[in-house]
Amino acid sequence: MDTIEGQRTVKATTFREATAEDWEYVTKLGREAIQKNAGRPVIDLLRSQKDVPNHGWQINNYEHSLQCATRALRNGETEEYIVAALLHDLCQDLNPYNHDKLAGDALRYYVSDELHWVVANHQIFQLSFRDHSKFDTKACEKYRGHPYFEAAMRFCEHYDMNCFGKYDYLPLEHFEPMVYRLYEKGVQAFHAKHPY
């Protein structure tokens, strides 16, 4: 994150040493940095995956993410949905066994409850489409009856399981403004609810 050039530092080296004035100052600086950089860390993380291996698929995770977002855009989904499609596998290489939960958390304050839940649980829903594999294709049935069950199935069917081949996807730069707008709006809403 960027910092304000020339800013002073507090004398405290622990939380307990920090004065009320220190807390006011560092909180203000932190909030300014969060607002200024809203969405940039997730774009940087996704961009860092440009050259990851494709693990036998025709494309790698970076290209998969761009393909998912491009399909969502071309199908007329909302900007929020497009960003969720772009970032749903953001944490694939950080923790392949729990990547959906991490990506969901990265989107938690920036998308609807439904989209947050869909992204945070898409890993088990995508198993439904792994025909001819040893995976449990019925694993998501434990969520049957959940209000977002069908939304998760739709997301995986249209914007996940079918995005591993060659496709004329748009570059990341096309989606960056969408991410920044969504994250800036989320940061403002969060700070409005938590004015400390």
pLDDT in tens, 40-58: 999 999 999 999 999 999 9
Measure Cα distances from 9 to 4, 5, 12, 185 in Å.
11, 11, 9, 29
Rounded CA Rg of the chain: 19
CB-based contacts of 139, cutoff 8 Å, min separation 6: 124, 127, 128
Which pair of structure tokens corresponds to residue 32? Answer: 């300014």
pLDDT of residue 2: 41
Tell me which residue of 157, 155, 121 sits closest to 140, measured CA to CA.
121
Please give the mean pLDDT across all residues of the chain.
93
Sign, Cα dihedral of 60, 74, 178, 168: positive
pLDDT of residue 127: 87
pLDDT in tens, 16-27: 999 999 999 999
pTM comes to 0.90
